[in-house]
Amino acid sequence: MSTLKKALAVSVAAAGLTAGAGAVSAQEITYMCSSDGTECSTAREIFDRFEAENPGVTVKIDEVPYKAILESLPVQLAAGTGPDMAKVTDLGGLNKFYLDLSPYVDTAAWEENFGGTLDWYRASADDKGIYGLHSQLTITGAYINKTLFDQAGVAVPGADATWDDWAAASRMVAEKTGTDFPMAMDRSGHRIAGPAISYGAKLFDDNGDAILVDDGFTAYVQKFVDWHEDGTMARDVWAGQGGSSYQDAAQEFINGQLVYYYSGSWQVGRMDRDVGDLFDWVVVGSPCGAGGCTGMPGGAGIVGFSDTEHPELVAKAIDYLAQEENYAEMTAKTKNIPAHAAVAAKGVDYAGASAGAAAALNAWGAQVGKLEGPAFMYQGYKNNRAMFNITVQRVTQAIVGELSVEDAMMRAKEDLAQALAEAN
Protein backbone atom coordinates (compact mmCIF):
# COMPACT_ATOMS: atom_id res chain seq x y z
CA MET A 1 0.00 0.00 0.00
CA SER A 2 1.40 3.35 -0.96
CA THR A 3 2.02 6.05 1.64
CA LEU A 4 -0.77 8.13 0.18
CA LYS A 5 -3.23 5.22 0.41
CA LYS A 6 -2.15 4.50 4.01
CA ALA A 7 -2.63 8.14 4.98
CA LEU A 8 -6.07 8.17 3.40
CA ALA A 9 -7.08 4.93 5.15
CA VAL A 10 -5.94 6.26 8.53
CA SER A 11 -7.78 9.55 7.95
CA VAL A 12 -11.01 7.78 7.00
CA ALA A 13 -10.77 5.47 10.03
CA ALA A 14 -10.09 8.43 12.35
CA ALA A 15 -12.99 10.39 10.90
CA GLY A 16 -15.26 7.38 11.32
CA LEU A 17 -14.22 6.88 14.93
CA THR A 18 -14.71 10.58 15.71
CA ALA A 19 -18.17 10.57 14.12
CA GLY A 20 -19.05 7.38 15.96
CA ALA A 21 -17.91 8.77 19.31
CA GLY A 22 -19.85 11.95 18.62
CA ALA A 23 -22.97 9.98 17.83
CA VAL A 24 -22.72 8.14 21.12
CA SER A 25 -22.30 11.21 23.35
CA ALA A 26 -24.34 13.86 21.48
CA GLN A 27 -28.00 14.04 22.39
CA GLU A 28 -30.37 16.44 20.72
CA ILE A 29 -33.91 17.14 21.78
CA THR A 30 -36.39 19.31 19.92
CA TYR A 31 -38.62 21.88 21.58
CA MET A 32 -41.59 23.12 19.54
CA CYS A 33 -42.32 26.61 20.78
CA SER A 34 -44.72 29.41 19.91
CA SER A 35 -44.35 32.90 21.22
CA ASP A 36 -46.66 35.78 22.24
CA GLY A 37 -43.61 37.97 22.71
CA THR A 38 -40.33 36.67 24.04
CA GLU A 39 -41.20 33.15 25.26
CA CYS A 40 -39.03 31.29 22.77
CA SER A 41 -36.04 33.64 22.91
CA THR A 42 -36.11 33.56 26.71
CA ALA A 43 -36.24 29.77 26.66
CA ARG A 44 -33.26 29.85 24.29
CA GLU A 45 -31.23 31.92 26.80
CA ILE A 46 -32.00 29.50 29.61
CA PHE A 47 -31.36 26.42 27.48
CA ASP A 48 -27.99 27.89 26.45
CA ARG A 49 -26.98 27.66 30.10
CA PHE A 50 -28.47 24.15 30.31
CA GLU A 51 -26.37 23.07 27.35
CA ALA A 52 -23.25 24.60 28.92
CA GLU A 53 -23.90 22.63 32.10
CA ASN A 54 -24.57 19.43 30.13
CA PRO A 55 -21.86 19.03 27.48
CA GLY A 56 -22.99 17.14 24.39
CA VAL A 57 -26.62 18.05 24.92
CA THR A 58 -28.43 20.25 22.43
CA VAL A 59 -31.91 21.68 22.79
CA LYS A 60 -33.10 22.64 19.34
CA ILE A 61 -35.90 25.21 19.48
CA ASP A 62 -38.35 25.00 16.62
CA GLU A 63 -40.32 28.27 16.77
CA VAL A 64 -43.70 27.89 15.04
CA PRO A 65 -46.92 29.93 14.81
CA TYR A 66 -49.48 29.27 17.53
CA LYS A 67 -51.79 27.78 14.88
CA ALA A 68 -49.21 25.03 14.28
CA ILE A 69 -49.32 24.10 17.96
CA LEU A 70 -53.12 23.93 17.81
CA GLU A 71 -53.53 22.14 14.51
CA SER A 72 -50.31 20.43 13.41
CA LEU A 73 -48.86 19.22 16.68
CA PRO A 74 -51.77 16.86 17.59
CA VAL A 75 -51.55 15.24 14.15
CA GLN A 76 -47.78 14.86 14.43
CA LEU A 77 -48.13 13.31 17.85
CA ALA A 78 -50.80 10.87 16.67
CA ALA A 79 -48.53 9.88 13.79
CA GLY A 80 -45.56 9.45 16.14
CA THR A 81 -43.52 12.17 14.47
CA GLY A 82 -43.84 14.90 17.07
CA PRO A 83 -41.05 16.82 18.79
CA ASP A 84 -39.51 15.76 22.12
CA MET A 85 -41.15 18.62 23.97
CA ALA A 86 -43.47 21.52 23.19
CA LYS A 87 -45.27 24.53 24.60
CA VAL A 88 -48.97 23.67 24.59
CA THR A 89 -52.24 25.31 25.55
CA ASP A 90 -54.59 22.32 25.14
CA LEU A 91 -53.27 21.17 28.49
CA GLY A 92 -55.47 18.17 29.32
CA GLY A 93 -56.48 17.40 25.76
CA LEU A 94 -53.06 16.11 24.75
CA ASN A 95 -52.51 14.13 27.93
CA LYS A 96 -52.32 10.75 26.19
CA PHE A 97 -49.11 11.85 24.48
CA TYR A 98 -47.36 13.28 27.54
CA LEU A 99 -44.21 11.96 29.11
CA ASP A 100 -44.61 11.40 32.84
CA LEU A 101 -41.76 13.35 34.39
CA SER A 102 -42.26 11.93 37.89
CA PRO A 103 -39.61 9.15 37.63
CA TYR A 104 -36.97 11.75 36.82
CA VAL A 105 -37.80 14.81 38.98
CA ASP A 106 -38.25 15.71 42.63
CA THR A 107 -42.02 15.15 42.75
CA ALA A 108 -42.38 16.69 46.20
CA ALA A 109 -40.81 19.94 45.02
CA TRP A 110 -43.02 19.99 41.95
CA GLU A 111 -46.16 19.35 44.02
CA GLU A 112 -45.13 22.13 46.40
CA ASN A 113 -44.42 24.70 43.72
CA PHE A 114 -46.89 23.78 40.97
CA GLY A 115 -49.64 22.06 42.97
CA GLY A 116 -52.30 24.39 41.56
CA THR A 117 -51.68 23.60 37.92
CA LEU A 118 -50.41 20.00 37.80
CA ASP A 119 -53.99 18.68 37.64
CA TRP A 120 -54.59 20.62 34.41
CA TYR A 121 -52.20 18.29 32.61
CA ARG A 122 -53.52 15.04 34.10
CA ALA A 123 -55.96 12.66 32.44
CA SER A 124 -58.20 12.22 35.48
CA ALA A 125 -58.43 12.72 39.23
CA ASP A 126 -56.73 9.35 39.77
CA ASP A 127 -53.76 10.33 37.64
CA LYS A 128 -50.85 11.40 39.88
CA GLY A 129 -48.24 11.85 37.15
CA ILE A 130 -46.29 15.04 36.56
CA TYR A 131 -46.60 16.08 32.95
CA GLY A 132 -46.21 19.79 32.46
CA LEU A 133 -44.46 22.90 33.63
CA HIS A 134 -47.01 25.71 33.63
CA SER A 135 -44.80 28.41 32.18
CA GLN A 136 -47.37 31.04 31.44
CA LEU A 137 -50.21 31.50 33.93
CA THR A 138 -52.83 33.76 32.50
CA ILE A 139 -56.12 35.13 33.73
CA THR A 140 -58.92 36.67 31.74
CA GLY A 141 -60.34 40.06 32.56
CA ALA A 142 -60.72 43.57 31.29
CA TYR A 143 -58.70 46.64 30.36
CA ILE A 144 -60.22 50.10 30.21
CA ASN A 145 -59.16 53.26 28.46
CA LYS A 146 -58.91 55.41 31.60
CA THR A 147 -58.24 58.56 29.59
CA LEU A 148 -61.65 58.25 27.92
CA PHE A 149 -63.34 57.85 31.31
CA ASP A 150 -61.56 61.02 32.49
CA GLN A 151 -62.49 62.93 29.34
CA ALA A 152 -66.13 61.86 29.70
CA GLY A 153 -66.18 62.70 33.39
CA VAL A 154 -67.58 59.25 34.16
CA ALA A 155 -66.48 57.56 37.37
CA VAL A 156 -64.71 54.24 36.92
CA PRO A 157 -66.89 51.52 38.51
CA GLY A 158 -65.47 49.92 41.65
CA ALA A 159 -64.02 46.46 42.22
CA ASP A 160 -67.43 44.93 42.98
CA ALA A 161 -69.21 46.52 40.00
CA THR A 162 -71.47 44.23 38.00
CA TRP A 163 -71.43 43.58 34.26
CA ASP A 164 -74.46 45.85 33.93
CA ASP A 165 -72.59 48.64 35.77
CA TRP A 166 -69.67 48.35 33.40
CA ALA A 167 -71.91 48.20 30.35
CA ALA A 168 -73.76 51.35 31.43
CA ALA A 169 -70.54 53.20 32.22
CA SER A 170 -68.87 52.14 28.97
CA ARG A 171 -71.88 53.20 26.90
CA MET A 172 -71.88 56.59 28.63
CA VAL A 173 -68.15 57.11 28.01
CA ALA A 174 -68.43 56.06 24.37
CA GLU A 175 -71.38 58.38 23.84
CA LYS A 176 -69.72 61.39 25.49
CA THR A 177 -66.38 60.94 23.78
CA GLY A 178 -67.62 59.77 20.39
CA THR A 179 -65.70 56.51 20.71
CA ASP A 180 -66.61 53.80 18.20
CA PHE A 181 -67.34 50.96 20.62
CA PRO A 182 -68.24 50.83 24.31
CA MET A 183 -67.17 47.21 24.91
CA ALA A 184 -65.56 44.25 23.16
CA MET A 185 -64.59 40.74 24.12
CA ASP A 186 -62.17 38.43 22.31
CA ARG A 187 -63.96 35.87 20.15
CA SER A 188 -63.10 32.85 22.25
CA GLY A 189 -64.99 30.24 24.24
CA HIS A 190 -62.41 30.57 26.98
CA ARG A 191 -62.98 34.31 27.24
CA ILE A 192 -66.75 34.11 27.61
CA ALA A 193 -66.53 31.35 30.22
CA GLY A 194 -65.45 33.63 33.10
CA PRO A 195 -68.39 36.03 32.70
CA ALA A 196 -70.76 33.06 32.31
CA ILE A 197 -69.48 31.55 35.56
CA SER A 198 -69.96 34.96 37.16
CA TYR A 199 -73.59 34.66 36.11
CA GLY A 200 -73.84 31.28 37.82
CA ALA A 201 -72.82 28.87 35.06
CA LYS A 202 -71.48 25.61 36.50
CA LEU A 203 -70.44 24.00 33.17
CA PHE A 204 -70.38 20.57 34.86
CA ASP A 205 -73.10 18.59 36.60
CA ASP A 206 -72.90 17.22 40.14
CA ASN A 207 -71.07 14.12 38.87
CA GLY A 208 -68.41 16.26 37.26
CA ASP A 209 -69.62 15.51 33.73
CA ALA A 210 -69.45 18.35 31.23
CA ILE A 211 -72.80 19.96 30.40
CA LEU A 212 -71.72 23.45 29.22
CA VAL A 213 -75.23 24.89 29.09
CA ASP A 214 -77.27 25.63 32.19
CA ASP A 215 -79.41 28.56 33.33
CA GLY A 216 -76.43 30.69 34.35
CA PHE A 217 -74.68 30.11 31.03
CA THR A 218 -77.83 30.88 29.05
CA ALA A 219 -78.45 34.04 31.09
CA TYR A 220 -75.04 35.47 30.25
CA VAL A 221 -75.29 34.47 26.58
CA GLN A 222 -78.67 36.22 26.37
CA LYS A 223 -77.11 39.35 27.90
CA PHE A 224 -74.13 39.10 25.56
CA VAL A 225 -76.38 38.77 22.49
CA ASP A 226 -78.53 41.69 23.63
CA TRP A 227 -75.42 43.84 24.02
CA HIS A 228 -74.48 43.05 20.43
CA GLU A 229 -77.95 44.06 19.29
CA ASP A 230 -77.99 47.39 21.14
CA GLY A 231 -74.44 48.32 20.16
CA THR A 232 -72.84 47.96 23.58
CA MET A 233 -70.50 45.24 22.26
CA ALA A 234 -68.48 45.69 19.08
CA ARG A 235 -70.13 43.42 16.50
CA ASP A 236 -66.97 43.16 14.38
CA VAL A 237 -65.23 40.83 16.80
CA TRP A 238 -67.78 38.02 17.18
CA ALA A 239 -70.07 38.59 14.19
CA GLY A 240 -67.26 39.35 11.75
CA GLN A 241 -66.00 35.76 11.70
CA GLY A 242 -67.30 32.32 10.94
CA GLY A 243 -66.62 28.88 12.39
CA SER A 244 -64.75 28.81 15.66
CA SER A 245 -61.84 31.00 14.60
CA TYR A 246 -60.24 33.28 17.15
CA GLN A 247 -60.42 37.05 16.89
CA ASP A 248 -59.31 39.65 19.39
CA ALA A 249 -60.07 43.35 19.71
CA ALA A 250 -56.67 44.44 20.92
CA GLN A 251 -56.00 46.64 17.91
CA GLU A 252 -59.28 48.52 18.35
CA PHE A 253 -58.37 49.15 21.99
CA ILE A 254 -54.85 50.24 21.08
CA ASN A 255 -56.29 52.58 18.43
CA GLY A 256 -58.45 54.25 21.09
CA GLN A 257 -61.68 53.04 19.46
CA LEU A 258 -62.77 51.01 22.45
CA VAL A 259 -63.64 51.95 26.04
CA TYR A 260 -63.69 48.54 27.71
CA TYR A 261 -61.82 45.50 26.41
CA TYR A 262 -62.28 42.02 27.90
CA SER A 263 -59.23 39.91 27.13
CA GLY A 264 -56.53 38.76 29.52
CA SER A 265 -53.21 39.15 31.22
CA TRP A 266 -51.16 38.03 28.20
CA GLN A 267 -51.97 41.34 26.49
CA VAL A 268 -49.94 43.40 29.00
CA GLY A 269 -46.77 43.33 26.94
CA ARG A 270 -48.64 44.35 23.81
CA MET A 271 -50.46 47.19 25.58
CA ASP A 272 -47.24 48.39 27.11
CA ARG A 273 -45.46 48.35 23.77
CA ASP A 274 -48.21 49.57 21.45
CA VAL A 275 -50.26 51.99 23.56
CA GLY A 276 -47.24 53.64 25.15
CA ASP A 277 -48.13 57.20 26.15
CA LEU A 278 -51.13 57.50 23.82
CA PHE A 279 -53.57 57.07 26.70
CA ASP A 280 -53.78 55.59 30.19
CA TRP A 281 -54.89 51.99 30.26
CA VAL A 282 -55.82 50.18 33.42
CA VAL A 283 -56.51 46.55 34.33
CA VAL A 284 -59.92 46.25 36.03
CA GLY A 285 -60.27 42.46 36.22
CA SER A 286 -63.62 40.71 35.92
CA PRO A 287 -67.01 42.31 36.71
CA CYS A 288 -69.39 40.58 39.10
CA GLY A 289 -72.60 38.63 38.69
CA ALA A 290 -74.68 36.42 40.94
CA GLY A 291 -72.00 33.69 40.78
CA GLY A 292 -68.94 35.79 41.60
CA CYS A 293 -66.46 38.07 39.90
CA THR A 294 -64.35 35.48 38.18
CA GLY A 295 -62.22 35.33 35.11
CA MET A 296 -60.70 32.16 33.68
CA PRO A 297 -57.25 30.92 34.51
CA GLY A 298 -55.27 29.51 31.67
CA GLY A 299 -52.07 29.81 29.84
CA ALA A 300 -49.46 27.57 28.40
CA GLY A 301 -47.15 24.91 29.67
CA ILE A 302 -44.09 23.00 28.56
CA VAL A 303 -44.54 19.24 28.24
CA GLY A 304 -42.47 16.29 27.10
CA PHE A 305 -43.82 13.54 24.88
CA SER A 306 -43.68 9.83 25.61
CA ASP A 307 -42.42 8.98 22.10
CA THR A 308 -39.12 10.76 22.78
CA GLU A 309 -35.91 8.74 22.55
CA HIS A 310 -34.46 10.75 25.43
CA PRO A 311 -37.08 10.78 28.22
CA GLU A 312 -34.59 11.44 30.98
CA LEU A 313 -33.02 14.34 29.12
CA VAL A 314 -36.40 15.87 28.30
CA ALA A 315 -37.40 15.63 31.97
CA LYS A 316 -34.06 17.16 32.97
CA ALA A 317 -34.53 20.08 30.55
CA ILE A 318 -38.06 20.82 31.78
CA ASP A 319 -36.93 20.45 35.39
CA TYR A 320 -34.16 22.98 34.66
CA LEU A 321 -36.75 25.54 33.53
CA ALA A 322 -38.76 24.79 36.68
CA GLN A 323 -35.89 25.72 38.99
CA GLU A 324 -36.82 28.81 40.97
CA GLU A 325 -34.23 31.22 39.56
CA ASN A 326 -34.81 30.10 35.98
CA TYR A 327 -38.58 30.21 36.34
CA ALA A 328 -38.38 33.70 37.91
CA GLU A 329 -36.21 34.88 34.99
CA MET A 330 -38.61 33.38 32.47
CA THR A 331 -41.63 34.99 34.14
CA ALA A 332 -40.00 38.41 34.37
CA LYS A 333 -38.71 38.47 30.80
CA THR A 334 -41.97 37.21 29.30
CA LYS A 335 -44.05 39.48 31.56
CA ASN A 336 -46.30 36.74 32.88
CA ILE A 337 -47.95 35.85 36.15
CA PRO A 338 -45.99 33.12 37.96
CA ALA A 339 -47.55 29.69 38.51
CA HIS A 340 -44.57 28.73 40.71
CA ALA A 341 -45.62 29.16 44.35
CA ALA A 342 -42.19 30.18 45.63
CA VAL A 343 -41.64 32.66 42.80
CA ALA A 344 -45.12 34.11 43.33
CA ALA A 345 -44.53 34.40 47.07
CA LYS A 346 -41.27 36.31 46.60
CA GLY A 347 -42.75 38.50 43.88
CA VAL A 348 -41.39 38.98 40.40
CA ASP A 349 -39.07 41.83 39.55
CA TYR A 350 -40.39 42.85 36.14
CA ALA A 351 -37.16 44.65 35.30
CA GLY A 352 -37.50 46.69 32.16
CA ALA A 353 -41.29 46.81 32.34
CA SER A 354 -42.83 50.28 32.44
CA ALA A 355 -44.62 51.46 35.57
CA GLY A 356 -47.96 50.86 33.81
CA ALA A 357 -47.05 47.32 32.83
CA ALA A 358 -45.73 46.47 36.30
CA ALA A 359 -48.93 47.86 37.86
CA ALA A 360 -51.02 45.85 35.39
CA LEU A 361 -49.17 42.64 36.15
CA ASN A 362 -49.69 43.16 39.87
CA ALA A 363 -53.36 43.90 39.22
CA TRP A 364 -53.68 40.62 37.35
CA GLY A 365 -51.92 38.81 40.16
CA ALA A 366 -54.53 40.19 42.58
CA GLN A 367 -57.31 38.70 40.42
CA VAL A 368 -56.11 35.13 40.93
CA GLY A 369 -57.82 34.96 44.35
CA LYS A 370 -61.20 35.77 42.79
CA LEU A 371 -61.25 32.75 40.51
CA GLU A 372 -64.21 30.45 41.15
CA GLY A 373 -64.07 26.63 41.34
CA PRO A 374 -65.78 25.94 37.98
CA ALA A 375 -63.20 28.15 36.28
CA PHE A 376 -60.34 25.96 37.52
CA MET A 377 -62.31 22.83 36.71
CA TYR A 378 -63.10 24.04 33.19
CA GLN A 379 -59.49 24.95 32.51
CA GLY A 380 -58.34 21.51 33.65
CA TYR A 381 -60.99 19.58 31.72
CA LYS A 382 -59.44 17.58 28.89
CA ASN A 383 -62.25 18.26 26.42
CA ASN A 384 -62.55 21.96 27.16
CA ARG A 385 -61.37 22.94 23.68
CA ALA A 386 -64.41 21.23 22.17
CA MET A 387 -66.60 23.22 24.58
CA PHE A 388 -64.81 26.48 23.69
CA ASN A 389 -65.33 25.88 19.96
CA ILE A 390 -68.97 24.96 20.36
CA THR A 391 -69.56 28.09 22.44
CA VAL A 392 -68.03 30.37 19.82
CA GLN A 393 -69.89 28.78 16.93
CA ARG A 394 -73.31 28.74 18.54
CA VAL A 395 -73.15 32.09 20.36
CA THR A 396 -72.10 33.75 17.10
CA GLN A 397 -75.10 32.22 15.33
CA ALA A 398 -77.32 33.75 18.02
CA ILE A 399 -75.60 37.13 17.63
CA VAL A 400 -76.09 37.27 13.87
CA GLY A 401 -79.68 36.05 14.13
CA GLU A 402 -79.27 32.61 12.57
CA LEU A 403 -80.57 30.98 15.71
CA SER A 404 -82.43 32.20 18.77
CA VAL A 405 -80.47 32.03 22.02
CA GLU A 406 -82.68 29.14 23.09
CA ASP A 407 -82.02 27.19 19.87
CA ALA A 408 -78.32 28.02 19.97
CA MET A 409 -78.05 26.61 23.49
CA MET A 410 -79.97 23.47 22.50
CA ARG A 411 -77.62 22.97 19.55
CA ALA A 412 -74.62 23.55 21.82
CA LYS A 413 -75.80 20.76 24.12
CA GLU A 414 -76.20 18.40 21.14
CA ASP A 415 -72.78 19.36 19.77
CA LEU A 416 -71.18 18.63 23.12
CA ALA A 417 -72.87 15.22 23.33
CA GLN A 418 -71.53 14.33 19.88
CA ALA A 419 -68.04 15.67 20.64
CA LEU A 420 -67.81 13.73 23.89
CA ALA A 421 -69.05 10.57 22.19
CA GLU A 422 -66.35 10.90 19.51
CA ALA A 423 -63.50 11.99 21.79
CA ASN A 424 -61.16 9.22 22.81
Partner 1 sequence: MLMILEPVMRVIEWPIKFLQDKLGLKNPAWIFLFPNLVLFGLFAFLPVILNFAYAVTGTDAILLSDRPFVGGSNFTALLDCENFADPNTCRDDLFWRAVWNTLRFVVLQVSLMVAFALITAIILNREIRARGFFRAVFFFPVLLSPVVVALIWKWILQREGILNAWLDGMGLETFNWLLDRSWAFGWSVFLSVWAHMGFYTLILLAGLQAIPRDVYEAAKMDRASPWRVFRRITLPLLMPTMLVVLVLATIKGVQTFEEVYAFTGGGPGSATTLIIQYVYETGFAGAPRLFGPAAAASLLLAAVLVVLTIIQLWINRKNVDG
d(CA 149, CA 163): 17
Nearer to partner 1, 236 or 324 (CB): 236
The least CB distance from residue 384 to partner 1, in Å, is 9
CB burial readout 72-90, b (16+ within 10 A) else e: ebbebbeeeebbbbbbbbb
Nearer to partner 1, 18 or 255 (CB): 255
The least CB distance from residue 45 to partner 1, in Å, is 33
Helix ranges (H only) for 79-118 are: 107-114
Nearer to partner 1, 94 or 353 (CB): 94
Residues making up the chain, counted from first to last: 424
The least CB distance from residue 404 to partner 1, in Å, is 10
Nearer to partner 1, 8 or 423 (CB): 423
Bridge-based pairing of strands 27-33 and 85-88 is parallel
Nearer to partner 1, 124 or 251 (CB): 251
H/E element, 14:
helix 3-25
The alpha carbon dihedral of 175, 177, 179, 183 has a sign of negative
Binding site for partner 1 (CB under 8 A): 71, 74-75, 78-79, 90, 93, 235-236, 239-245, 383, 385-386, 388-389, 393, 396-397, 399-403, 407, 411, 414, 418-419, 422-424
Strands, E, within 38-81: which ranges? Answer: 57-63
Q: Count Cα neighbours of 77 within 13 Å in the Cβ-side half-sphere.
A: 23
Q: Could you tell me if 334 and 318 are in contact, meaning their C-beta atoms sit under 8 angstroms apart?
A: no
Nearer to partner 1, 59 or 210 (CB): 210
The least CB distance from residue 46 to partner 1, in Å, is 31
The least CB distance from residue 385 to partner 1, in Å, is 4
Largest Cα–Cα distance of the chain, in whole Å?
97
The least CB distance from residue 393 to partner 1, in Å, is 8
Nearer to partner 1, 41 or 204 (CB): 204
Residue among 133, 75, 76 nearest 101 (CA): 133
Q: Count Cα neighbours of 88 within 13 Å in the Cβ-side half-sphere.
A: 29
The least CB distance from residue 108 to partner 1, in Å, is 34
